[in-house]
Amino acid sequence: MAYSDKVVDHYEHPRNVGALDKNDETVGTGLVGAPACGDVMKLQIKVSAEGIIEDAKFKTFGCGSAIASSSLVTEWVKGKTLEEAGQIKNTEIAQELALPPVKIHCSVLAEDAIKAAIADYRAKSGKSDDSAAAE
Amino acid sequence: MTAHVPPTNAPSTEPGLTPVLTRRPGMPIYLDYQATTPCDPRVVAAMLPWFTEKFGNPHSRNHAYGWEAEEAVEQARAEIAALIGADAKEIVFTSGATESNNLAIKGAAHFLREKRDHVVTVVTEHKCVLDTCRHLEQEGFRVTYLPVQTNGLIDLNQLADTLTDRTAVLSVMGANNEIGVLQPLAQIGALCRAKGVLFHSDGAQAAGKIPVDVNAMNIDMMSLSGHKIYGPKGIGALYVRRRPRVRLVPLINGGGQERGMRSGTLATPLCVGFGTAAALARVEMASEAERLLALRNRLLAGLEQRLPEIYVNGDLEQRLPGNINISFAFVEGEGLMMGIKGLAVSSGSACTSASLEPSYVLRALGLSPEMAHTSLRLGLGRFTTEEEVSTAIDQIAEAVEHLRGLSPLWEMHQDGIDVSTVQWAEH
């Protein structure tokens, strides 16, 4: 299978690999996918008091396209508001990485991951007790 | 290629001269010897005269071109028979093991169909055996697909219970192409003999690598493949027992070649190449097995030293010396393949590599889909060097370490979470 140069680049030099403290109230964590499907993405965002995403980290179990999709998303969300980040479309990710049709689902999962992280942050900041994340 | 090339008139076998294969610049290290093997230079040398110089049809009875070709084919036939302890008259040339498997299973079932309507095989067989059996099911035969234990071997008691007086044929491969596991052929053969069931074995991966004796093992039919033992692609054979005689309905109708079992002009150069490969395999089998086992042990030890949580799939003892199949937990297989571009390996059998489905053979061992996905099949062979094994250890270890650094599952494992108990969100 031929990968685009961008996918290979993200594989070899992934951006923002790592973890944020999921117990921190300014951090939202999204965990999507399943090992049996061959794709699991964990995406975390650190949100400022003004609602801007200051930092993002990811970890992915999956093929090169999945790794690239999640790595790209962490680059894109930094500096965006939660609303803006929630509007990122999988089609944009797929286009940027030149994903073939059989790999489009990797971009869908990345979109799901960012939405799950945003939802988790909102749930945590909207309630007084620390309710369970999408985990 | 650097090799001693024997004189072209006689396919000579010269043990002790290890041939060398020069890798082309930019090409990965070949570690996929179960998928196919390069022709041994001695095989190619033996084949060449039969293309342009001695080009006769071996079935032409009336002139020297035919006679010399026939003699070469018969010599090759004898070498192939000797590899498995058979008589030359019991060897039918085919286009490859796929055709041989079709001929054996369909041929026997069709011949016996009035009295017997049951066929037995194993879930880990090559796709051509499984698909042949599915085709027979559509024709009205009952087929039992025996499961395997977690080590890949069949349960002989279960087999004994499955064979009945309505069973026409049992097909069990000698060595598995994905996990290299060796089935207990002699014991299976004894069982079949006792129950009056024909025993066919797909020997494509076994013959030439481990000792096979069709009489000691009570094997009635065995499929053989040229390109798995450093012979050319496009040629195989089916051993068909003559005492007691096994009767088959042929797949191909025509001029009646190969005792009516397989019509068609024989490809003299391919037969000669296959025969030469068989002769070399017979002579060099023991020393090659020893060398490959040492290399494989070093490969596995090297990986185990660098990487925790890696698992060998299939029995380590009852196994082809050159094969190892390993799952690397918490790392996804396609991603892993991307990181080892300097190595030519496969994740699952070559036949399914286009789709990258979790391997059905590994699933049959009881592996979870994700462990099946993370597996690599490494096949070492005649031309594998110590240096290549060292490079393989480094590249695989580095890629796995890189991917584990990216993996949320590895992170969970490091945090003491049992990943298998996590409830994953609907997806």
Best mutation target among A40, A43, A71, A97 (most B Cβ atoms within 10 Å) is A40
Q: Do B406 and A60 touch (CB under 8 A)?
A: yes
Across B195-204, B209-218, B328-337, B417-426, least confident range:
B417-426
Is B351 an annotated catalytic residue? yes
- Contact list in A for residue B335 (CB cut-off 8 A) is 11, 62-64, 66-67
Measure the CA–CA gap between B278 and B287, rounded to whole angstroms.
15
- Contact list in A for residue B427 (CB cut-off 8 A) is 32-34, 37, 109, 112
Best mutation target among B336, B340, B362, B407 (most A Cβ atoms within 10 Å) is B407
Measure the CA–CA gap between A3 and B9, rounded to whole angstroms.
48
Q: Do A59 and B424 touch (CB under 8 A)?
A: no
Measure the CA–CA gap between B95 and B238, rounded to whole angstroms.
10
Measure the CA–CA gap between A83 and A45, rounded to whole angstroms.
13
Q: Do B427 and A41 touch (CB under 8 A)?
A: no
Q: Do B335 and A64 touch (CB under 8 A)?
A: yes
Q: pLDDT tens-digit profile of B368-383?
A: 877 887 889 999 999 9
Q: Which of left, alpha, beta for B197 (phi over 0: left; psi -120 to 50: alpha)?
A: beta
**Per-residue three-class SS string for B311-350:** EECCCCCCECCCEEEEEECCCCHHHHHHHCCCEECECCCH
Measure the CA–CA gap between B211 and A96, rounded to whole angstroms.
55
Measure the CA–CA gap between B206 and B9, rounded to whole angstroms.
30
What phi, psi does B93 have (nearest 5°)?
Answer: -75, 140
The CATH code belonging to domain B29-39+285-418 is: 3.90.1150.10
Q: Which residue has the higher pLDDT, B173 or B427?
A: B173
Q: Which residue has the higher pLDDT, B259 or A127?
A: B259
Size of interface A-B (CB pairs under 8 A): 76
Q: Do A35 and B407 touch (CB under 8 A)?
A: no
Bridge partners, B310 (sequence order) = B328
Measure the CA–CA gap between B60 and B53, rounded to whole angstroms.
16
Report the SS3 class of residue B302.
helix
pLDDT at A35: 83
Share of residues in chain A with pLDDT > 70 (%): 92
Measure A64 CA to nearest chain B CA, in Å: 5
A5-122 CATH choice from 2.30.30.40, 3.30.2130.30, 3.90.1010.10, 2.40.10.220: 3.90.1010.10
Find the helix or strand (DSSP H, E) in which B223 lies: strand B221-225
Q: pLDDT tens-digit profile of B293-309?
A: 999 999 999 999 999 99
Q: Is the pLDDT of residue A11 over 60?
A: yes
pLDDT at B253: 96
Best mutation target among A15, A21, A43, A61 (most B Cβ atoms within 10 Å) is A61
Question: Which residue ranges make up each domain of chain A?
Answer: 5-122
B45-279 CATH choice from 3.10.28.10, 3.30.540.10, 3.40.640.10, 3.10.180.10: 3.40.640.10
Q: Which residue of B has its CA nearest to A102?
A: B355
Q: pLDDT tens-digit profile of A60-106?
A: 999 899 999 999 999 999 999 999 999 999 999 999 999 998 889 99
Q: pLDDT tens-digit profile of B9-62?
A: 333 445 545 577 888 999 999 999 999 999 999 999 999 999 999 999 999 999
Measure A93 CA to nearest chain B CA, in Å: 19
Q: pLDDT band for position A1 (50/70/90)?
A: low
Is A63 an annotated catalytic residue? no
Task: List the Cα angle A38/A42/A45 in 5-degree steps.
Answer: 155
Residue-averaged pLDDT of chain B: 92
Q: Residue for token digits 């400022």?
A: A48
Mean pLDDT of B357-378: 87
| Residue whose C-alpha is closest to residue B242's, from B219, B217, B208, B223 | B219
Share of residues in chain B with pLDDT > 90 (%): 85
Q: Is the pLDDT of residue B351 over 80?
A: no
- Contact list in B for residue A59 (CB cut-off 8 A) is 406-408, 411
- Contact list in B for residue A40 (CB cut-off 8 A) is 408-409, 424
Sequence-ordered list of residues with C-beta below 8 angstroms from that of B138, at least 6 positions apart, any chain: none
Report the length, in residues, of chain A.
Answer: 135
Q: Is the pLDDT of residue B237 over 90?
A: yes
Question: Which residue ranges make up each domain of chain B?
Answer: 29-39+285-418, 45-279
Per-residue tokens: A123: 């749930």
Mean pLDDT of B277-286: 97
What phi, psi does B357 have (nearest 5°)?
Answer: -70, 155
Q: Among B338, B369, B408, whose Cβ lies nearest the Cβ of A60?
A: B408
What phi, psi does B205 have (nearest 5°)?
Answer: -90, -20
| Predicted TM-score (pTM) of this structure | 0.89
- Contact list in A for residue B410 (CB cut-off 8 A) is 61
ipTM exceeds 0.85: yes
- Contact list in A for residue B355 (CB cut-off 8 A) is none
